[in-house]
Chain A
Amino acid sequence: MNLLEHQGKQLLASIGIAVPRGDVADSPDAAGAVAAELGGRVVCKAQITSGKRGKAGGVLVVESAAAAEAAAREILGSDVHGHRVRRLLVEQAVDIGHELYAAVLDDPVSKGPVLLFSTAGGMDIEEVNATSPESVRRLPLDIREPASTEAIGAMVRDSGLAPGSVDAVADALAAIYRLYVDADASLVEVNPLALTTSGDVVALDAKVTIDAASVMRQETRLADLQGGTPSSGGTDLERSGAELGLSYIELGGDVGVLANGAGLTMTTLDAISHFGGRAANFLEIGGDAYTKATPALDLVLSNPNVRSVLVNFCGAFARTDVMTDGVVNAIEELRPDVPISFTIHGTGEQEAIALVRERLGMEPHDLMDDAVREAIANARSDREVSA
């Protein structure tokens, strides 16, 4: 779960890391009022869960309350990287002496947390890593232990930072790691972590991702966030899917997809593309097929571009007869007016095929490739008929 910048900063402030004074505004009037209260130069930042906002016009630095109001009029309601901007963070501009980069994240290689630090902050870290990999320091940590202040201090000193700033920066890094541990985060990234002209350490941005599997044990922390738990974003249908607990993504094509398992569902999309078709969605229904097939199929059919549906089940743990029973119920209930193609393999395959034959009068395909080809052909012929 990606938190918004101002929520990430709320968490950073709670562990003693300085952040610029400011507040959230959801209207130009409110933005002007926050700017007037702060006085002087302010930064207006779109609150969306996506990076690179600056280049997309989502961050503006202005000199007055009136200018902040005008900036808010420009940014609020605009589209930044596909996210509609509903809130702004208006905060005091900071006199930056040096921009640093700091992050803690889950590292699949060391299989533990890794602390990243660079004196080349402010830029995209992938870019920094590509152009000057030596400037990105990595410190693998043991999730069971607090971070060693000696090890962090040595890393910061080694990075070439002015000796007078080393202790303050190392303290901030140790605090960021504590937040990562306490909040069950999979990422805490501060870029830039600024050294101000007066030598203070201030977090100018905050990207915090709470591990989705840990949300249950972070309920109190999440409930205390200003602005509430951030929504997962996405289209209206994707949000409906998320509310149902389904892994559903809308795509641009015309073949609706219902499959089980993330790997098989992605493969179904690949096969559709391989045979010259275009998938309308990714919908991994898996073991939920028995109970959630009706709303899931409804979701697929609600996309007006869908001209055919492909059901691809390959059961190992998930029994295909149980999944198919759910889908057959859904089809009997919703009576879709687009053709449906089936391919079913694995645990319970014979029973599943019998269900499709007996209750729907359809014949599942032996080969996935044939089912895919048929679904694509159905989508095409249907379009020709309706055109």
Chain B
Amino acid sequence: MIVTAQHAVLVQGITGRQGQYWTERMEECGTRVVAGASPGRAGREVHGVPVYDTAADAAAAHDLDATVLFVPPARAKDAVVDAAEAGIRTIVCLAEHIPSHDVMEMLAVARECGSVVVGPNTAGLVVPGQSSVGIMPGFAPNIFRPGRIGVVSRSGSLGTLVCMNLVTAGFGQSAFIGVGGDPILGTTTADAVRALVAHPATEAIVIVGEIGGSMEEDAAEVITGLGVPTVAFIAGRSAPPDRRMGHAGAIVTGDRGSADTKVAALRGAGVAVVDIPSEIGTALRGLGVGPHAAVAAGG
């Protein structure tokens, strides 16, 4: 699911305002956008990129590795199904507030087609210096810099802050995976950790988690035995129980999904858990991971 400079990317909803704007920003980051899709807009071009009616039509004309969806929640299910049935392996679904039954349906179709969905409600994927697929500021050198830290985050805004903190502390990222803030996600934190570890540039992992759900506990099980230095920050440690703080997964009920259970599971797996994002750099150095600000793009 990590999209590099070699991969060919489709933008679904490319003729919309956001689609056009972010296509340009993604290209600035190095992303190889080869096609767009918008129903009824075949034959147009956006920033020189040819537009097709459907993902299936685009896939017939191009070898596509990944797609990113700038489509409203009500149309997201059909767009993901279109992409999965067109054989696109990585589908980045940005939309928030997709009906959960639609999410379950589109994930079932994607699974049967052998596609991986990242999201919904994700800010996307970044490989600094190579690509940005989604709505992360992959073009901002004070936030993303080629490096050796694999970052996984449920939140785009907090993921941005953490990446900026890493750069300030002298680190760069091998890749950033935004898994999304919805309760049901195509890619879990554990899936993202596996992908980051398999990515050759990764030396250490930073997990940006949140209260609610059990994704961080599940990721802790994956980390145990990997031998990869890992630092985690869990947002919502000061949140009162039973209050929903925006992200659908961020509700604490009983003794499951709380900050304490997540922190305990991660510490049990040998992860250094920090109290605030600004401590992440120090924690990485504490695990023997040195700053490496000057890793060349592509490294």
Contacts and interface: CB of A to CB of B under 8 A. Distances in A.
Interface of A: 106-108, 111-113, 126, 142-144, 181, 184, 186, 211-214, 217, 247, 249, 251, 259-267, 269-274, 279, 282, 284, 286, 314-318, 345-347, 367-369
A97 B223 CA distance: 48
B156 A265 contact: no
Contacts of A214: 99-101
A247 B183 CA distance: 17
B157 A142 contact: no
B210 A213 contact: no
Interface string B194-222: 00000000000000101101110000000
B11 interface: no
A266 B239 contact: yes
Contacts of B100: 106, 184, 186, 211, 213-214
Contacts of A186: 100
Contacts of B282: none
Contacts of A106: 100, 104, 183-184
A272 B210 contact: no
Contact of B108 (A143, A181, A318): A143
Interface stretch (B36-44, B136-144, B290-298): B136-144
- Scoring A211, A213, A259 by chain B CB atoms within 10 A of each residue's CB, the highest score goes to A213
Interface string B162-203: 001000000000000000010111101000000000000000
A142 B109 CA distance: 10
15 contacts: A108-B185, A111-B111, A143-B105, A262-B245, A262-B246, A263-B208, A263-B210, A264-B161, A264-B235, A265-B246, A270-B276, A314-B161, A345-B160, A346-B143, A369-B278
Given A316-B135, A368-B161, A266 B245 contact: yes
A80 to B, nearest CB: 14
B160 A346 contact: yes
B50 interface: no
A346 B143 CA distance: 7
Nearest to B161: A314
Contacts of B185: 108
A112 B99 contact: no
A107 B73 CA distance: 20
Interface in B230-248: 233, 235-240, 243-247
Given A142-B108, A266-B245, A317-B123, A260 B213 contact: no
Contacts of A270: 235-238, 275-276
B277 A269 contact: no
A115 B258 CA distance: 24
B99 A211 contact: yes
Nearest to A269: B238
**Across the A-B interface, the 10 shortest Cβ-Cβ residue pairs:** A263-B155, A261-B157, A262-B246, A263-B158, A317-B135, A273-B238, A264-B157, A262-B247, A214-B99, A266-B235
A126 B233 CA distance: 27
A281 to B, nearest CB: 11
Given A314-B157, A317-B135, A346-B140, A213 B99 contact: yes
Contact of A316 (B160, B237, B278): B160
A347 B181 contact: no
Contact of A112 (B108, B154, B161): B108
Contact of A279 (B111, B164, B233, B238): B238
B254 interface: yes
Contact of A113 (B98, B104, B181, B186): B104
A143 B101 contact: yes
Contacts of B256: 126
B150 interface: no
A8 B130 CA distance: 52
Nearest to B278: A369
Interface string B118-140: 00000100000000000111001
Given A265-B246, A266-B245, A314-B160, A111 B237 contact: no
B215 to A, nearest CB: 8
Nearest to B18: A317
A269 B236 CA distance: 7
Nearest to A232: B244
B183 A347 contact: no
B84 interface: no
B97 interface: yes
A264 B183 CA distance: 18
- Scoring B183, B235, B275 by chain A CB atoms within 10 A of each residue's CB, the highest score goes to B235
A270 B213 CA distance: 19
Given A111-B184, A143-B108, A214-B99, A249 B245 contact: yes
B90 interface: no
B254 A282 contact: no
A144 B108 contact: yes
Contacts of B236: 266, 269-270
B107 interface: yes
B153 A263 contact: yes
B147 interface: no
Contacts of A267: 158, 161, 233, 235, 276-277
